[in-house]
Structure 1
Amino acid sequence: MAISESTNPEERRGGTRIQMQILGSFMTDAIGATACEICDLAPGGVRLSATRQPSQDDRIGLNIPALGRFVGKVAWVDGNEFGVQFTASAGARALANELSTRRSLERMNITLRKDGQAPTLTLSRENGESSEVTLQKLTVEGASFTADTLPEVDETVTICDMPATVMKVVNDRFAVRFHPPREAALD
């Protein structure tokens, strides 16, 4: 996921981000260690706030206690905020993906089973029919499921009160892309 080069901060975001307020620190060649606040995080980048800002295109090292170290490039600077596009570390991307998945689980009010079995959820269709589906994979933007009764591609469904569009159906599996959260649509 890349942070676009738009001049509008709202358009620079690459994918859905998890809002947060975590303290960390960053370092560039020109600026020593500087405290910062992590404002939001996505698999491809992060938005930070700090009293001192790096320059656009600077290489940056970012340390977020309890999450790890990230390496990236400053994609934009606007006032006391700036965006960083991750440039290395598959581990950092995996961690950001894990955080995104956990956020999706929270939004859907899903508790993972302790026995490791995939949770069974209710899928509701626009025609009023409901069926049980088994979660296979979840990301911040979508999910895949197995089911006995499959929806159609491009059909709008609701899973755990979250509307989604069916993107793919193969054998006994289907994948959906979630619609943006209502709060984001009002901004």
Structure 2
Amino acid sequence: MRSAQANARVANIAARKQDRRRHQRVGVSLLGRFMLENRREYPCQVSDMSPGGAALIAPVTGEVGERVIAYIDHLGRIEGKIVRHIEGGFAMTLNATARKRDKLASQLTWLANRHELNLPEDRRHDRFTPDSSASRIILPDGREYPCRVVDVSMSGAALAIEVKPAIGTAISLGKMRARVIRHTEDGVAVEFGAVQNINVLKNQITI
């Protein structure tokens, strides 16, 4: 006859399997920052996620079992623990209330649908050409390149630039955080980490 402790272990394993089935992972590409227990912050990119866990591409991996707090574009604050290391980063579980998990599920569904519809930029946002178009991008390794802002909306911008960083590369455009989503004939198109206020954009993207 199994002990109460053994029964509890079996119940926990069954609950975890059920949780994994319920929380299907969604492939995403979201920028953010995270903090380990040493309270140092690092940039990251979420490559896939469910309401119960996430995979982060990051410059440091931390220790298995270490607590993580992250702020992810479009999703906000998440927290949990590192469960394993993956190539170029780590996988973490998410500690969240049922209400928070439901909200994450809705957000991830929207992001997945946007990806399936091939809508990297939100075309509902009108584009305009800034009065001053001179700007620069800064790559993750610190290299800087001058560019010209062809046009911009609340969600992204088209840049004329000689270099073409790889699609998915996180960059800084002026004072704005963004990522490369497409190559164009004259340069690249970038998407901002979140929808921006037009008045803020005018002061942040050019130099």
Which band: TM-score by shorter chain? 0.3 to 0.5
Flag the structure with larger Rg: 2
- The structure carrying a bigger helix percent of its residues is 2
- The structure carrying a bigger strand percent of its residues is 1
Q: Give the TM-score, by structure 1 length.
A: 0.45
Q: Give the TM-score, by structure 2 length.
A: 0.41
